[in-house]
Amino acid sequence: MTNILHRHSHVVPRVAARGEGPYVYDVDGAKYLDASGGAAVSCLGHSHPDIIRAIKDQVDVLSYAHTSFFANRPAEDLADLLIEKAPDSLGKVYFVSGGSEAVEAALKMARQYFVEIGEPQRRRVIARWQSYHGNTLGALATGGNLGRREMFLPILGDFASHISPCFEYRYRTTVESSEDYGLRVADELKAEIERLGPDTVAAFIAEPVVGATAGVVPSVPGYFKRIREICDEYGVLLILDEVMCGMGRTGTLFAFEQDGVVPDLVTCAKGLGAGYQPIGAVLLDQRFADAFYHGSGFFHHGHTYMAHATACAAALAVQRVIDRDDLLSNVRLQGDALVDALTARLGNHHHVGDIRGRGLFRGVELVADRATKQPFDPALKLHARVKREAMDRGLMCYPAGGTVDGTSGDHILLAPPFIIDRTHVDEIAEKLGDSIDAAIASAGS
């Protein structure tokens, strides 16, 4: 019996009792290796003593003070840390409580910027299919996850349109090089801007590494450079959504560093606070802050819990620990080890089509037929079977369906904590391999 409306009406989840390092324990004492950080959140694992201490210390002096009355020290310090590490043009931070809020704020910043500089006709946002930007209405309208959008289409508004993803495994033709493929799909942005009318387009939004919808899909070399060029040519803003792939997950603090571009706005959340407190942020180009300053004088937005002192204290501690312990080196090291271990266990598997990703952000795509890349029948819900089998083996991973086009395809997303070592990597590969085998057997394939 539960009084909570859980995510699924027919499933009441096991109750988590405590966490320690990369493991979570349920109330019955069962132990689970958190190989997905929940949903790419818990980048320091669980119960990290430094973060617990920072939260307790902050609560002892000031839990919260509304931002219309006061600034607070942890928020200022966290902003300083992020701005110091960001490219020079990103000069301000706006703190919110999660990923969807960060995306909503970024979309509204883009819109307000154009109003302030005298281009109010710019209201359109272009996004990509097979992407996810959050479940609030603005974020959902830009997201390209068909399954999540369908129910709410009539209330999503008409400001967003979509171009193809950059998804090499699925959509590069055999006669194209990776680079040629990237340029072809990037040029869809140019065509879409022209179709809509260049002076009506405010922004293009994309995940540098697509997370849960397509199963950890980085772009091909050159893709984002071409996207940046097109945005610059038309005065369109580039918003990169790093809610899932950012804050070190791919081995660099910002995922976009590996694509050689700098966005006008970047969103982050999940790994920022590592799950110790709910927090998200937008880093914005200084010219937005200047436009608001010289224009209406403020950003027309706000939330009750923005720049929450305790959330910022936790995130500050998280980012300092990542720095102090040089954990991004471990992300790169264990990320390579994870690919090796997955390849050893699954590389020749009849039903594993692709193993991909960057750093400790990896995806495994399942197929019915490796040669044709034919996905499994969606009715089998193979991804859900993998999740059940993995939980029964003490492994948390993040499988999802609709990988190919929103309807068909299955993948498993892995995003383990940055603190793992080689023994955890081997445990992930072994348990995931066994779970995939058992799931496929239970589906009768």
Instruction: Give me the least distance between CB of 71 and ligand PLP, in Å please.
Output: 24
Instruction: Give me the least distance between CB of 89 and ligand PLP, in Å please.
Output: 22
Dig out the tokens for 108 from the structure: 């509204």
Angle between helices 178-196 and 223-234 (to 10 degrees): 20
Rounded to whole angstroms, how far apart are CA atoms 173 and 99? Answer: 34
Dig out the tokens for 381 from the structure: 């819900």
Rounded to whole angstroms, how far apart are CA atoms 87 and 262? Answer: 7
Instruction: Select from 1-9, 114-122, 127-135, 354-362 the region that touches ligand PLP (CB under 6 A).
Output: 127-135
Give the ranges where 97-145 is alpha helix by DSSP (H): 99-116, 137-142
Q: Which of 39, 81, 384, 391 binds ligand PLP (CB under 6 A)?
A: 39
Is 212 an interacting residue with respect to ligand PLP (CB under 6 A)? yes
Q: Which of 90, 103, 106, 110 binds ligand PLP (CB under 6 A)?
A: 103
The residues in 70-99 that bind ligand PLP, with binding defined as CB under 6 A, are 98-99
When the beta carbons of 134 and 401 are compared against ligand PLP, the nearer one is 134
Mark residues 128-147: x for contact with ligand PLP by CB under 6 A, - for none.
----xxx-------------
Chain-centroid distance of CA 152 in Å reads: 22
When the beta carbons of 45 and 144 are compared against ligand PLP, the nearer one is 144
Question: Between the CA atoms of 141, 146, 149 and 155, what dihedral angle is there, to the nearest 10 degrees?
Answer: 70
At 126 the three-state DSSP class reads strand
Alpha-carbon radius of gyration of the chain? 21
Is 211 an interacting residue with respect to ligand PLP (CB under 6 A)? yes
Instruction: Select from 174-182, 238-246, 330-338, 403-411 the region that touches ligand PLP (CB under 6 A).
Output: 238-246
- CA-wise closest residue to 207 among 249, 255, 277, 162: 255
Residue nearest to ligand PLP (CB): 99
Strand partners, 282: 94, 267
At 444 the three-state DSSP class reads coil
Instruction: Give me the least distance between CB of 1 and ligand PLP, in Å please.
Output: 27
What is the CA angle 410-415-419, rounded to 5? 160
Q: Which of 35, 244, 360, 390 binds ligand PLP (CB under 6 A)?
A: 244
Instruction: Give me the least distance between CB of 239 and ligand PLP, in Å please.
Output: 11
When the beta carbons of 98 and 406 are compared against ligand PLP, the nearer one is 98
Number of residues near ligand PLP (by CB under 6 A): 15
Report the relative pairing of strands 398-401 and 395-396 from DSSP bridges.
Answer: unpaired
Is 391 an interacting residue with respect to ligand PLP (CB under 6 A)? no
Strand partners, 365: 354, 411
When the beta carbons of 244 and 380 are compared against ligand PLP, the nearer one is 244
Neighbours of 198 (CB within 10 A): 14
Instruction: Give me the least distance between CB of 28 and ligand PLP, in Å please.
Output: 28
Is 100 an interacting residue with respect to ligand PLP (CB under 6 A)? yes
Is 207 an interacting residue with respect to ligand PLP (CB under 6 A)? yes
DSSP secondary-structure letter at 108?
Answer: H
- Residues binding ligand PLP (CB under 6 A): 39, 98-100, 103, 132-134, 207, 211-212, 241, 243-244, 269
